[in-house]
Amino acid sequence: MRTIPRLTTLLIAAALVAAACGDDGSILDFTTTTPTTSAGSTTEAPTTTGVTPESTTTAPATTTPESTTSTAATTTTEAPPAVPVVTPVDASESYDDPKLVLTVTVPVVSGVPAPAADAMNGTIGPAVLGSAHAFRDEILGADLPPDEFDMGSELALSYEVTAISAGLLSLRYDYYVYYQGAAHGMTSIFTMNFEPQTGTLLTLPDILVPGTFGVLAAIVEQHIVDDVWGGDAAEASSWVPVLDEVVLDGWVVTDDGLAFSFDQYEIGFGAMGAPTVVVPWAELGAVIDPAGPAGPWAFG
């Protein structure tokens, strides 16, 4: 999970958000036994003529077919794992003195087993509400410069679901803050990736073939040079840090590929904002674990 932006020193406050659980069902089978028995008897009556009577008697014929019993086999079908449901909840606030606007949307996860939903919401709450409330408390307690343009301070925090299935939930958050009197605001992106059936927060190695992190880092670095710096490797080299697990923590799964986001000033000039590079799945066949959470996107 990409943590709250490194550019602002915000205290993470815990917040608890609601969770819901999904239903499970079963299929009821039954056994049917149908015995079938039939019997028949035929006797031909004697025939008398004008001559010496000849008596003919045919013995009754009795036929008893075998009883037939059929039993339906009992089958049990296990319900497939539930796909999570993500519901946006508005947690916005505003203040007049000092002027402050918080525009916050919190994703609340439901539709999966309660312990898993609780775990995911317990991670989301401190990251989203905690960062918003820390910024609020900082502004309300600060000695701010005069606000000659009546702009006040602002925080905007929203999210996007980039991938959702029974095996993976990827969330990307856009984070913007502006301090009253500052020349400009600051932007950042942080991410979370979950295994929905357990609520486990995934790390990048969790979706990779073991031992391939270095290969992936080299691929991402080349995309930064090409996509962010227009192929100018010399200029990029003075900005791009070592791409370890901390720097590459802002990842999500998308339909187009594996997306990596970076904070403002992290891999380039501030005017670049918070850059994102997308590595197409076609380039990742050697590093994505086919049986892992991202397998269906990479090889589906």
Domains of the chain are 1-13+82-202 (3.30.565.40), 203-300 (3.90.640.20)
Residue 52 above 80 pLDDT? Answer: no
The token pair at 175 is 């984070």
160-206 confidence digits (pLDDT tens)? 999 999 999 999 999 999 999 998 999 999 999 999 999 999 999 99
Average pLDDT of 56-65? Answer: 48
Q: Which of 190, 33, 42, 208 is nearest to 123 (CA)?
A: 190
Task: Quote the pLDDT of residue 13.
Answer: 32
- pLDDT: which is higher, 229 or 19: 229
User: What pLDDT, on a 0 to 100 scale, did the predictor assign at position 73?
Assistant: 57
Number of helical (H) and strand (E) elements in the chain, helices listed first: 4, 10
Q: Does residue 114 surpass a pLDDT of 50?
A: yes
Give residue 150's pLDDT band: very low, low, confident or very high (50, 70, 90): confident
Question: Cα–Cα distance between 193 and 260 in angstroms, integer?
Answer: 13
CB-facing half-sphere around the CA of 104: CA atoms within 13 A: 24
pTM of the model: 0.75
**Whole-angstrom distance, CA of residue 280 vs CA of residue 222:** 13
